[in-house]
Amino acid sequence: MIYTLKKEKKYNYLEIGEGTPLIILHGLMGNLSNFDNVFEHFSKLGYRVIMPELPLYTLPLLKTNVKNLSAFVKNFAKHLKLEKYILIGNSLGGHIALYHTKLNPNNVAGLVLTGSSGLYENAMGGSYPKRGDYEYIKEKTQAVFYDPAIATKEVVDDVFDTLNNRSKLIRTLAIAKSAIRHNMGKDLPDLDIPSCLIWGENDTVTPPEVAEEFHKLLPNSELHWIEKCGHAPMMEHPDQFNKVLEKWLKKYFKSGI
């Protein structure tokens, strides 16, 4: 499905549907297309689904961190005049959602985390990215998924281009270091809002024990597993992901937020 990217001030985003706002936050190596199925599905079910492009590569280097990306979400929500919303985040997007919730608890009605960083992340298999080695990057990108075929040439090319752009690479590494600094372990017990954890059983980036730790520390959380699935359940098993999320949303937000 092709949607028109809205461009207003410094914000580029997709938006469809009416009703309870769902703000989707993509990951460090991800983009808006990772959530295509979620975007389309929930816009038909009484939700206003919004996906901003995170300014991962356009912030000044010294401001390229989890804290400022969280501030971006706050300003973006203000731009859209949203006072209450549900955040959905994958990988880095989940971490930004957590940090944003910590600083803006009155604005976030619920959290949906899938393969979220914030406690531990095994980025690029724990090794430094080899910029010019396409086959190496292809292998590491495929390893993110249970089914390597999900890492299409388009997906691999996007990662390869990012890591071979010096400015983007420097910011990628800055964000990765920032994610380590902004560990959320001590903050999670204070985030007492409905939280849905949707995790791939075969996630090697944020392994199953990370999901268990999130579930243990978040006081009002549910943990749902998806079999034969890696770091991006919404890409590998979109129908199952949507089914779990739809049921959870109906349970906690049947009458809106």
Q: Where are the domains of the chain?
A: 6-123+183-253
The predicted pLDDT at position 209 comes to 96
Higher-confidence residue of 128 and 225: namely: 225
Cα 113 to Cα 116: distance, rounded to the nearest angstrom: 6
The predicted pLDDT at position 33 comes to 85
Tell me the three-class secondary structure of 165-202, residue by residue: CHHHHHHHHHHHHHHHHCCCCCCHHHCCCCEEEEEECC
Residue 57 vs residues 7, 127, 167, 230: alpha-carbon distances, Å:
17, 22, 7, 26
The predicted pLDDT at position 1 comes to 57
139 burial level (CB within 10 Å; 0-12, 13-18, 19+) = middle
**91 backbone φψ class: left, alpha, beta (φ>0; ψ -120 to 50):** left
pLDDT above 50: residue 8: yes
The predicted pLDDT at position 126 comes to 44
| Listed residue (179, 231, 189, 230) closest to 68, CA to CA | 179
Cα 92 to Cα 114: distance, rounded to the nearest angstrom: 10
- Report which secondary-structure segment, H or E, holds 89: strand 85-90
- Domain 6-123+183-253 sits in which CATH superfamily? Alpha/Beta hydrolase fold, catalytic domain (3.40.50.1820)
Per-residue pLDDT reduced to its tens digit, 27-84: 987 788 889 999 999 999 999 999 999 999 999 999 999 999 999 999 999 999 999 9
Per-residue pLDDT reduced to its tens digit, 189-206: 999 999 999 999 999 999
